[in-house]
Amino acid sequence: MKYKSLAIIIATTALSCSAAVEIPVMKDAVFYDGYKTDVIVDAELNDGIYRLANSLYSVPLDADALKNVGTDLTLHVTLSPRCDNYDRMGCVRLAFVPKEETRYTEDDVQRIELARFITPFMNMNKEPDSVPYEWNISDVAYILHDPDINERYNLWIETYLFGVPYAAREQVEGCADHDDVYAATVWLTADEDTDGTVAGAAVHNRLFPLYTTKSEIKGDINFNRYTEGATDKFGKTERTFTFTTDTDLTDARLNLILTNHGADTKGEEYVRRLHNVFIDGELKLSYTPGGVSCEPYRQYNSQGNMIYGKTPQTDWEEWNNWCPGQAVPVRQINLGELKAGEHSVKITVPDAQFFHNKGDFRPSLYVQGVTEGELNLSAVNQINDSELDGITFEHIGDDIIFKSATPLREAALYDLSGSLLEGYYNPAGIISLAGRTPGTYILLVVARDGRYTTYKAVK
């Protein structure tokens, strides 16, 4: 499936910096029932916030705010619970709004997602009464300062938080008949760019927004295998995004945020599955989300739930895709040189089930590259899906024989198009190519601790 991309030249320089400054976006903005679409509750408030929906608020960044952005930029979000006591998804995005527009609809502009978070199970009557999130988004400083972008677009910071109050009306004292779900405070801290310019630009970038996840109301069109348009081929959890660069890129990188949703029985929230990312048909990243301890977020989960037991747990790594109360990490894939022309990014989750055709995966991704030199931007909240060392491979006849000092969890065999041919759990150490057509195959081997390696075999 092809998506129109926004090609933007970004001037990257060393900015002059001094003391850190705070750039407010919104303070204690109350979000309401995301399914309430007949009226936007606070639409008439004169507080500088443009409310596109009860779950989506936007604030323009003015020239004074942009002037204060230097090379070091941090995004902060603090949520205060109201009348939603369940775990929800929220995010902060950067929208490119044409200069002539003072208002816009969600579907009319392009955007990139900067950060994503999962709310905890919170009872507003208990402590703690807030949950903080933080991301280093220094890469975004170069976008905010780009003169070409600023000539054509106004830049708006969007905050999306889709909550519902229905359970809290029954379970939380003071929430009967309430529609308010959370209050959010959003701000940036930055090293000040004292002269407000980007002098001495030496490297020119290209930015390609490929896809930004849709709101929960439109969730069936994000990424699943049971909805037309949500996958490349009905019945297979594979989705391809394309972009075209009109010039060679000497260095490029893909930023990817993806969370798995579906809380029903056997839902995709709970089952950790192998994810693969192919660039122009070449496997670039394989990972299984989650696998981290959720104990650091226990303190914010003040509402009883089925995820956190009454005592600390040690077995989180086996089942969770994400933690209630967690700032979702950004995965960054170095692409290196890219020639002018069309390129593809393909995400596959071969074992996804979507039991009873429920749930979805929610990806946001964009590509950034440079036409000269290297992309020297700081990695933010990056997940380094480290390669597995200490493993050996031998290709004898039709057999690929591998040995590992680290216990292995799974292996998978792919062709060069990225199609899964066969998956193996608790692999014994021999994968046979007998009966397969001559060609090149990729064997992916994943350790129990999440590290991985790939081996290319030619039959």
- Start-to-end CA distance of the chain, whole Å, equals 31
For the entire predicted model, the pTM comes to 0.84
Contact (Cβ atoms closer than 8 angstroms) between residue 156 and residue 94 = yes
pLDDT at position 8 is 37
Report pLDDT digits (tens) over 379-405: 444 454 556 778 899 999 999 999 888
Domain 391-458: top CATH class: mainly beta
- Which two three-digit tokens encode residue 117? 């978070």
**Contacts with 434 (C-beta within 8 Å, 6 or more apart), sequence order:** 398, 399
User: In the chain, where does the domain assigned CATH 2.60.120.230 lie?
Assistant: 8-370
Report pLDDT digits (tens) over 313-366: 877 766 788 999 999 988 888 899 999 999 999 999 988 999 999 999 999 999
pLDDT at position 6 is 43
CA distance 38 to 399: 62
Q: Give the length of the chain.
A: 459
Contact (Cβ atoms closer than 8 angstroms) between residue 241 and residue 262 = no
Domain 8-370: top CATH class: mainly beta
Nearest to 331 by CA among 258, 275, 382, 279: 382
Mean per-residue pLDDT of the chain: 85
User: In the chain, where does the domain assigned CATH 2.60.40 lie?
Assistant: 391-458
pLDDT at position 376 is 59
Contact (Cβ atoms closer than 8 angstroms) between residue 283 and residue 392 = no
CA distance 386 to 95: 32
CA distance 232 to 348: 10
CA distance 149 to 357: 41
* Phi, psi dihedral angles at 219 (to 5 degrees): -60, -25
Which of 26-30, 127-131, 204-208, 336-340 has the least mean pLDDT? 204-208
Percent of the chain scoring above 90 in pLDDT: 53
